[in-house]
Amino acid sequence: MKPRQKLRKGIILVSFFLFPATFYYLSPVLIIQAAINGVINGSFILFLLMFLSALVLGRGYCGWVCPGAGCQEALFSARNNRVKKGDYVKWLIWVPWVGAIVILAVRGGGYSRIDFFYQTTHGLSIGDLGGLIAYLMVLFLLIVLPALIFGRRSFCHHLCWMAPFMILGREIRNVFEWPSLLLKAEAEKCTHCHTCTENCPMSLPVENMVQSAKMENSECILCGTCIDGCPAGVIQYDYRTGKNRVTL
Ligand code: SF4
Ligand code: SF4
């Protein structure tokens, strides 16, 4: 494994180990409770930051930071089949969820204060037995079980309530074509070994993307696995404006 991938896997594993502390800052439930009480809480702020980061870094958060990524990639050794369908499912969750937050915030009179540490215990998420049970249920039912049943990073494809913020951010970036982190490829160097497609953590048809010169995909998490695994050095990171990029 290339040093960059060791670093990436190390970062997401540490992030996963810290998940009991950071859990509330990524919670889809606390943001609803906070909206009712007119509070901009930690998860509201982090979801906003994810959206903003996607304007220049795409879904880099998903590939390099997310605690759920660390858990899911650790599970590759237990079940590593490719997930090819169902990306739309997370939108069926996200749209009514965001709608509920907006409606509840409006009905509650709007936001009146900011409390980043809302409902945490000295800034840490799990401060009592109830918090621990909620954490374990989310971890097992939403992240571990789908990965074991459906395969590689199933949570990212089917259930993640954070991914749509970043997908929307990168779509806006694509419309305005400002400089951002992307993949680029030199298709003529490809030896058709299929390594990139077989190893992509998001089960993308990377070799086809290379051949069609369309390296942009809303499910790409910019993890760099395809870059570091390609024996011919076909794929690279790129940071440039839309006019010059080898995407879309
Ligand atoms: S296409 Fe490459 S960078 Fe994107 S998710 Fe797949 S392996 Fe990672
Ligand atoms: S890993 Fe590289 S050489 Fe192999 S199919 Fe993918 S782009 Fe082509």
The CATH topology of domain 178-244 is Alpha-Beta Plaits (3.30.70)
| 221, 236, 246: residue to mutate for ligand 1 pocket, most atoms within 8 A of CB | 221
Taking the C-alpha atoms of residue 209 and residue 212, their distance in angstroms, rounded to an integer, is: 5
Taking the C-alpha atoms of residue 72 and residue 99, their distance in angstroms, rounded to an integer, is: 28
Q: Write out pLDDT tens, residues 72-117.
A: 999 999 999 999 899 999 999 999 999 999 999 999 899 999 999 9
Q: Write out pLDDT tens, residues 15-73.
A: 999 999 999 999 999 999 999 999 999 999 999 999 999 999 999 999 999 999 999 99
Has residue 244 got a pLDDT over 50? no
2 close to 58: Cβ distance less than 8 angstroms: no
How many angstroms does the Cα of residue 44 sit away from the middle of ligand 1?
28
Phi then psi dihedrals of residue 91, to 5 deg: -70, -30
Taking the C-alpha atoms of residue 27 and residue 161, their distance in angstroms, rounded to an integer, is: 9
Domain ranges of the chain: 3-169, 178-244
Atom of ligand 1 nearest to the CA of 209: 1
Regarding the beta carbon of 210 and ligand 2, being less than 6 Å apart is answered yes
